[in-house]
């Protein structure tokens, strides 16, 4: 797979698309076979991030929405 128009100007090797697809499928299958080893840690990581930032963002958005409803002015909601 390449997007280079002049192949002599690019020293990188071309990757055959079928080989790339198969490599991705192989890695995904390996991940699924060994999911017990990383799934718990992944869930803990996601939970930790959501607990720390999600609640704060939702609370800020709620506050800004309340202000908009009270004043009638549209307030930008921070991300």
Residue 64: count other Cβ atoms within 10 Å of its Cβ.
Answer: 15
Angle (nearest 5°) at CA 58 between 42 and 76:
125
Asked if the structure places residue 8 within a domain, the reply is no
Is it the case that residue 79 has pLDDT exceeding 80? Answer: no
Counting the structural domains of the chain, the total is 1
Greater confidence (17 vs 42) lies with 17
Q: Report percent pLDDT > 90 for the chain.
A: 15
Average pLDDT over residues 22-51: 85
Task: Give the predicted TM-score (pTM) of the model.
Answer: 0.39
Rama region for 78: left / alpha / beta (φ>0; ψ in -120 to 50; rest) = beta
Q: What is the domain extent for residue 66?
A: 15-71
Could you tell me the pLDDT band of residue 76, with boundaries at 50, 70 and 90? Answer: low
Whether residue 45 lies inside any domain: the answer is: yes
Cα 23 to Cα 18, 27, 31, 33, 63, distances in angstroms = 9, 6, 12, 15, 47
Residue 20 inside a domain? The answer is yes
Structure confidence at residue 47 (pLDDT): 84
Q: What pLDDT score was predicted for residue 7? A: 63
């Amino acid at each position: 797979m390449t997007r280079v128009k002049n192949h002599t100007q690019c020293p990188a090797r071309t990757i055959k698309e079928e080989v790339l697809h198969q490599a991705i499928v192989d890695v995904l299958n390996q991940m699924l076979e060994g999911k017990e080893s990383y799934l718990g840690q992944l869930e803990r990581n996601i939970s930790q991030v959501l607990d720390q930032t999600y609640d704060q963002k939702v609370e800020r958005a709620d506050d800004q929405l309340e202000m908009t409803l009270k004043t009638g002015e549209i307030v930008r909601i921070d991300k």
